[in-house]
């Protein structure tokens, strides 16, 4: 099958969050399976060009109609981990992608509406007629609309569109001028059935457009799809999703085992597997040495996370003191874009600076995160909501037992050691329901008790997780099934 991914992020080259990992992991797995995969991305000034093999200018005659201009773009081509990637570079006084940041500008909707238009224009000019175009999050939510309403008229009648929602919290709400800029008449689209935002009168909701105009809509876990459709987590798009439920489904993300595998991980001092689990404890020793923690018979509880309200910062703080009061060690690696939260954790760090059982590392450090997963006994994820979540999947692969709140992808991947309706060999962690300190303690207490008093059972729990397959193998097949389902026969 011929598949084109259009996205705003790609792991290794331009990454802000999990979206980048999904586009990269899925594209690579589909390529390995023999599908013809191409990825179209913006050419950011901050992208890591050294990760693109053979980056060259491939097309320099792309003129994109935009508002009352024609914007000249160059298109670069190169391989990332064997996958064909195109990077669009507009030459325009607004410098859409040369601003030192991927997101965070006031005109983000304009920037990505332009990118969506340019990607389609590039496909039209170069005669690309894939079976499926796969687009992601609000940034590329206007692609299905423009394909249906504009580009089908230019002969692009073959491609079908799959739209993936990675986080419904961000919907790309903007003004109708954005439609005018990409050549659409707002009067035709500013209706409740189409793009009108359910909350703000006269606002355009780009994600809604993605849902309405695509052939299939996915989220990054089945539980998250259920939550955004039927519980209060839909951020006002629940009724749209309910209306289109016949074309909606959840596909759990995979984890890139080329990056995350304790048997071959280049960031950790001692590699190990489910059959050599004792070697993991050498990494625990290394982690303690790195953080000046004392070497004592205690479990290490870890948090590796963005520090924001989605991730349950209040509960992370509570867990820290609960762990210390119950004979455990606690390590945290995290950053926060929120100044208040950042300050709070810096204060905590100063307060606990001399504690031999605790270390807070406030920053982003990929290599260190690998050592923490390899050297800790538990990873804590008390999220308020979690579309999929990667850290629990990493924890499972590294024999680091996840303690999580039952929401989104966490509910689909972590099964409680005591209460899950699963056979014992499938149980792999601890789960709590209520987003409060009692809920958190109910799971942590059981996990800590098991670690101290039933080491043999704990080991089984670790091995159960390590043996589960959360690679891209199954999710890629799920996407292929969806592509087959929607493609024009
Ligand atoms: P989200 O995409 O919502 O931030 P995910 O769990 O899906 O959360 O993915 C987070 C990824 O970022 C994981 O691979 C995690 O290890 C990594 N990560 C988060 N914070 C840090 C940090 N401070 N340093 C290094 N890696 C981090």
Pocket of ligand 1, candidates 391, 400, 408: which has the most ligand atoms within 8 Å of its Cβ, to mutate? 391
Q: Which atom of ligand 1 is nearest to the CA of 311?
A: 3
Mean pLDDT of the 406-435 span: 97
Q: Which atom of ligand 1 is nearest to the CA of 363?
A: 23
Ligand 1 in contact with 17 (CB < 6 A)? yes
Mean pLDDT of the 438-458 span: 98
**Contact yes or no for 243/237 (Cβ under 8 A):** no
Ligand 1 in contact with 365 (CB < 6 A)? yes
Ligand 1 in contact with 391 (CB < 6 A)? yes
Q: Which atom of ligand 1 is nearest to the CA of 369?
A: 25
Give pLDDT, residue 489: 55
Q: How far is the CA of 488 from the centre of ligand 1 (A)?
A: 37
Structure letter (DSSP) for residue 70: E
Rounded to whole angstroms, the Cα distance separating 451 from 457 reads: 8
Rounded to whole angstroms, the Cα distance separating 454 from 394 reads: 24
pLDDT in tens, 309-331: 999 999 999 999 999 999 999 99
What is the DSSP annotation of 81-135? Answer: TTEEEEEEEEE-TT-TT-SS-SS--TTHHHHHHHHHHHHHHHHHHTT---SEEEE
Give pLDDT, residue 16: 87
**Contact yes or no for 239/245 (Cβ under 8 A):** no
pLDDT in tens, 223-259: 999 999 999 899 999 999 999 999 999 999 999 998 8
Ligand 1 in contact with 477 (CB < 6 A)? no
Q: Which atom of ligand 1 is nearest to the CA of 386?
A: 3
Q: Which atom of ligand 1 is nearest to the CA of 390?
A: 6
Tell me what percent of the residues of the chain surpass a pLDDT of 90. Answer: 94
pTM confidence score = 0.93
pLDDT in tens, 286-304: 999 999 999 999 999 999 9
Task: Name the strands in the sheet holding 329-335, side by side, starting at the edge strand that comes first in the sequence.
Answer: 358-362, 329-335, 300-306, 378-381, 401-405, 430-432
Ligand 1 in contact with 366 (CB < 6 A)? yes
Give pLDDT, residue 337: 80
Look at ligand 1, atom 22, and give the residue with the nearest C-alpha.
364
Q: Which of 119, 80, 219, 108 is nearest to 162 (CA)?
A: 219
């Amino acid at each position: 099958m011929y598949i084109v991914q259009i996205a705003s992020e790609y792991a290794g080259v331009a990454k802000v969050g999990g979206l980048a990992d999904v586009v990269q992991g899925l594209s690579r797995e589909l390529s390995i399976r023999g599908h013809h995969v191409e990825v179209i991305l913006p050419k950011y000034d901050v992208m890591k060009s050294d990760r693109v093999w053979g980056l060259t200018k491939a097309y320099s005659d792309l003129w994109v109609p935009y508002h009352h201009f024609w914007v000249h773009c160059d298109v670069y081509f190169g391989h990332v981990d064997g996958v064909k990637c195109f990077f669009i570079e507009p030459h325009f006084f607004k410098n859409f992608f040369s601003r030192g940041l991927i997101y965070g500008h006031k005109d983000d909707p304009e920037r990505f509406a332009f990118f969506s238009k340019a990607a389609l224009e590039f496909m039209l000019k170069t005669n690309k007629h894939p079976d499926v175009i796969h687009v992601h999050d609000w940034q590329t939510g206007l692609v299905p609309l423009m394909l249906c309403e504009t580009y089908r008229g230019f002969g692009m009648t073959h491609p079908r569109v799959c739209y993936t929602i990675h986080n419904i919290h961000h919907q790309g709400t903007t003004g109708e001028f954005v439609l005018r800029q990409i050549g659409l008449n707002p009067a035709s689209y500013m209706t409740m059935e189409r793009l009108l935002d359910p909350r703000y009168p006269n606002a355009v909701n780009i994600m809604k457009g993605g849902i309405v105009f695509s052939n299939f809509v996915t989220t990054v876990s089945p539980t998250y799809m259920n939550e955004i459709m039927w519980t209060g987590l839909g951020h006002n798009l629940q009724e749209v999703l309910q209306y289109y439920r016949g074309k909606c489904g959840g596909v759990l993300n995979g984890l890139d085992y080329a990056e995350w595998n304790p048997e071959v991980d280049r960031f950790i001092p001692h590699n190990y597997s489910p059959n050599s689990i004792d070697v993991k404890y050498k990494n625990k020793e290394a982690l303690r040495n790195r953080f000046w923690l004392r070497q004592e018979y205690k479990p290490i509880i870890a948090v590796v996370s963005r520090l924001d309200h989605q991730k349950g910062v209040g509960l992370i703080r509570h867990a820290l003191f609960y762990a210390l009061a119950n004979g455990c060690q606690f390590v945290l690696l995290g950053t926060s874009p929120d100044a208040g939260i950042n300050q709070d954790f810096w204060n905590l760090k100063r307060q606990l600076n001399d504690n031999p059982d605790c270390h807070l590392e406030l920053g982003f450090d990929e290599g260190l995160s690998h050592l923490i997963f390899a050297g800790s006994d538990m990873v804590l994820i008390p999220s308020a909501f979690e579309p999929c979540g990667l850290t629990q999947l990493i924890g499972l692969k590294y024999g680091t037992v996840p303690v999580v709140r039952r929401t989104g992808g966490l509910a689909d991947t972590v099964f409680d050691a005591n209460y899950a309706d699963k056979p014992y060999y499938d149980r792999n962690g601890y789960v709590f329901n209520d987003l409060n300190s009692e809920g958190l303690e109910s799971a942590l207490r059981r996990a800590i008790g098991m670690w101290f008093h039933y080491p043999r059972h704990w080991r089984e729990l670790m091995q159960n997780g390590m043996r589960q397959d959360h690679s891209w193998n199954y999710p890629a097949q799920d996407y292929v099934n969806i592509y087959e389902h929607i493609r024009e026969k």
